[in-house]
Amino acid sequence: MSAKRFFITLVSLLVLTVSSGVRAGLDIRHWVTPEGARVYFVENHDLPMLDVSVDFDAGSARDTRARSGLANLTRHVMSLGAGPYSERDIAERMADVGAILSGRFDADRAGFTLRTLSGANELEQAVTVLIEVLARPRFEPAIVEREKARVVAALQEAATKPEFIGEKAFMAALYGEHPYGLHESGEVDSVRALTASELADFHHRHYRAANMSIALMGDLTRAQAEALASRLAVGLPPGPAPEPIAPAPDSATPGERVLPHHATQSHLFMGLPGLKREDPDYFPLHVGNYVLGGGGFDSRLTESVRQKKGLAYSVYSYFMPMRELGPFQIGLQTRRESTAEAVATVREELARYLESGPSEAELEQAKNNLIGGFPLRIDSNRKILEYLAVIGFYRLPLDWLDTYPAKVAAVGRDDIARAFRARVRPEAMATVVVGGQIENARK
């Protein structure tokens, strides 16, 4: 009910993990428009609808510390007035045909998704608006100022919450001056300083066809898809894609940071930069993490922290693969009195896992789930769109889904042990605890 819609994008726990085998992979069609936009298309006419994703290498990794929040605000304000359409026109023209325009934003990617009926009139009206949003956003100063105030308010509210405080300190400890260490929505002061002309300039430099990937899923023919993709790309600002971002560090600033907080629970964040989207250790780490803390009730962390000791509702580990090394993170929340016990339990489990890796039985269970669950990962247009978008944005091989099961199946215990020891180095890890401290200090 009335969930509050913060547009601070929190780091997603969803790690792209495709697996596979039951049916042949998707028939992905790929081409490049004359303007240089890469297109990925799966044709499916079961439902009279179309899902579109347009992504640009224009995430918060393109921010600077002084202008942190620029990338997020640019993408956000793009849909609040463009070409001939006011912000009101945009929302109404979409709603009039039942279309849903949404934003997407993280450190690497910035863009939009559009879900619309595929009837000629509905499709045309929705796409026409999207084209204007991408190519001719207005960045009206009054709207920019209003949205800055909203971002600032959301940041200020979030800054009272332990999960936000901890995540921020954790990412800063992992990435230091690398832009992955910047908060995706920016800082109160840096956002306040942004101007409409800076947004327009950021748009001009990043929202280019050469920097764009388009994913299309649903009720279109190939010819229609080609025409649509070209229309999306043709009006964008000209110019090459930006230079690649700098490599991320492979170690955190090690040590522990304890941030006092009044909450009844302590929040733990532990980890280091760990995995790239294209990475030789992708599969050993992915499969191995299922056993450590990614496999829900199959995982060691859940078994020891939750099932055996009742210390937490949620405990997990994950690798978030990004363009450069994305974070490996272990997290949990526990009542403040049991903070030390929970942290010690996690450390013991991690040490044990780094020592000997998974058992044969655990590895088999992980593979059974990852491979056997493949059809579930592509059982809807929405899910397929998300895979298309990732494959396109990160330029993964078109057969990435097809080859997944074999690659999961090929992972051995030794591969996991070796990869974990190489990447998850305790001496290079940061630990952040929010809360816990006040109560303990009084006792």
Q: Per CB under 8 A, which of residues 348..387 are in contact with other proteins?
A: 351, 365, 368-376, 378-382
> Strand order of the sheet with strand 315-319?
255-259, 430-434, 265-275, 326-335, 315-319
Judged by CB under 8 A, the stretch of 4-12, 65-73, 221-229, 233-241 that binds other proteins is 4-12
Looking at the Cβ atoms of 37 and 191, the one nearer to other proteins is 191
Looking at the Cβ atoms of 158 and 212, the one nearer to other proteins is 158
What DSSP line would sit under 14-51, residue for residue? --------SS-----EEEE-TTS-EEEEEE--SSSEEE
The single residue among 150, 192, 205, 407 that binds other proteins, judged by CB under 8 A, is 150
Q: Does 408 bind other proteins (CB under 8 A)?
A: no
Smallest distance, Å, CB 197 to other proteins?
22
Of 7-66, which residues contact other proteins (CB under 8 A)?
Answer: 22-23, 46-49
Buried-state track 219-256, b at ≥16 Cβ within 10 A, e below 16: bbeeebbbebbbbbbeebeeeeeeeebeebbeebbeee
Looking at the Cβ atoms of 32 and 159, the one nearer to other proteins is 159
Q: What single DSSP character describes residue 332?
A: E
Looking at the Cβ atoms of 14 and 441, the one nearer to other proteins is 441
- Between CA 109 and CA 211 the distance in angstroms is 11
Tokens of 214: 């388009």
- Between CA 167 and CA 80 the distance in angstroms is 29
Q: Which of 182, 198, 157 has the alpha carbon at shortest distance from 4?
A: 157
Looking at the Cβ atoms of 210 and 354, the one nearer to other proteins is 354
Looking at the Cβ atoms of 66 and 100, the one nearer to other proteins is 100
The single residue among 31, 43, 83, 87 that binds other proteins, judged by CB under 8 A, is 87
- Residues 131 and 85: beta-carbon distance below 8 Å: no
Smallest distance, Å, CB 378 to other proteins?
7
Tokens of 223: 């010819």
Smallest distance, Å, CB 165 to other proteins?
10
Of 251-310, which residues contact other proteins (CB under 8 A)?
Answer: 254-256, 258-265, 295-298, 303, 306-310
Smallest distance, Å, CB 277 to other proteins?
24
Smallest distance, Å, CB 321 to other proteins?
21
Which sign does the torsion angle of CA 429, 435, 439, 442 carry?
positive
Smallest distance, Å, CB 426 to other proteins?
5
Q: Does 84 bind other proteins (CB under 8 A)?
A: no
Smallest distance, Å, CB 150 to other proteins?
5
Tokens of 358: 């998974």
Identify the H or E element spanning 105.
strand 100-105
Looking at the Cβ atoms of 160 and 403, the one nearer to other proteins is 160
Smallest distance, Å, CB 369 to other proteins?
5
- Between CA 439 and CA 248 the distance in angstroms is 37
Smallest distance, Å, CB 306 to other proteins?
6
Judged by CB under 8 A, the stretch of 133-141, 276-284, 331-339, 390-398 that binds other proteins is 331-339
121 to 41, 47, 97, 98, 374: CA distances (angstroms): 21, 16, 8, 11, 36
- Residues 385 and 53: beta-carbon distance below 8 Å: yes
Q: Does 122 bind other proteins (CB under 8 A)?
A: yes
Number of H helices, E strands in the chain: 17, 11
> Within a 10 A sphere around the Cβ of 282, how many other Cβ atoms?
17
Smallest distance, Å, CB 257 to other proteins?
10
Q: Does 1 bind other proteins (CB under 8 A)?
A: yes
- Residues 233 and 167: beta-carbon distance below 8 Å: no
Q: Which of 257, 251, 426, 440 has the alpha carbon at shortest distance from 347?
A: 426
Of 204-243, which residues contact other proteins (CB under 8 A)?
Answer: none
Looking at the Cβ atoms of 65 and 382, the one nearer to other proteins is 382
Tokens of 100: 């849903």
Looking at the Cβ atoms of 237 and 254, the one nearer to other proteins is 254
Tokens of 33: 């428009």
The single residue among 5, 120, 240, 243 that binds other proteins, judged by CB under 8 A, is 5
Looking at the Cβ atoms of 156 and 221, the one nearer to other proteins is 156
Looking at the Cβ atoms of 150 and 205, the one nearer to other proteins is 150
Strands 255-259 and 430-434 come out as parallel
Judged by CB under 8 A, the stretch of 55-63, 157-165, 272-280, 320-328 that binds other proteins is 157-165
The number of residues that bind other proteins (CB under 8 A) is: 99
Residues 6+ apart with CB under 8 A from 84: 132
Judged by CB under 8 A, the stretch of 103-111, 197-205, 318-326, 422-430 that binds other proteins is 422-430
Q: Does 153 bind other proteins (CB under 8 A)?
A: yes
